[in-house]
Amino acid sequence: MPSQTATMTPSPSATATSAAPAAPALCKAASLTATTDATGGGAAGSVYEKLILTNSGTATCVLEGFAGVSLTADASGEPIGEPATRETTTPVTKIELAPGKSAWAEIRYTQAGNYGDCARVAAAGFRIYPPNDTASLFVAEPHDACSNAGIKLLTVTAFQAV
């Protein structure tokens, strides 16, 4: 009787795989600082200024979209009146912010005095919510606000790279 020879095929060797580098996390209020730059000027009762968010953390993060912006009575106070409306003519882009780097969005503040039915109150500054974050930052910048609903004093564009 003929003998059978078993042929063993080598099993594929396990190949070492290196993990792909993790994508940067979203920028959060805890690792950002906020300032404004009013060099944008004004026209017809409005003031244009840049809202600048700077990565104050130690790792690169991603900023993409619109900030939530409202006027507030103080650093820990509730928003006054209507939040900013999104100005969608500027396209949304994904911005990777290395530590120390900044991105900006444009805020338009319409003077409260332009509205005869405005219930004017003093605002100490802006409450800023970075995109996709529920924590906020405060920028001290006194303005008049309208406490009644329906009057929109603020618009904001999407963030752009500096």
Beta 137-146 vs 85-86: how paired, if at all? unpaired
Q: Are 129 and 29 in contact (CB under 8 A)?
A: yes
- In order along its 162 residues, the chain shows pLDDT tens digits of 444 444 444 444 444 555 667 889 999 999 999 999 977 677 778 999 999 999 999 999 999 999 999 999 999 988 999 999 999 999 999 999 999 999 999 999 999 999 999 999 999 999 999 999 999 999 999 999 999 989 999 999 999 999
Write the class of the CATH domain 25-161: mainly beta
Residue 77, pLDDT score: 86
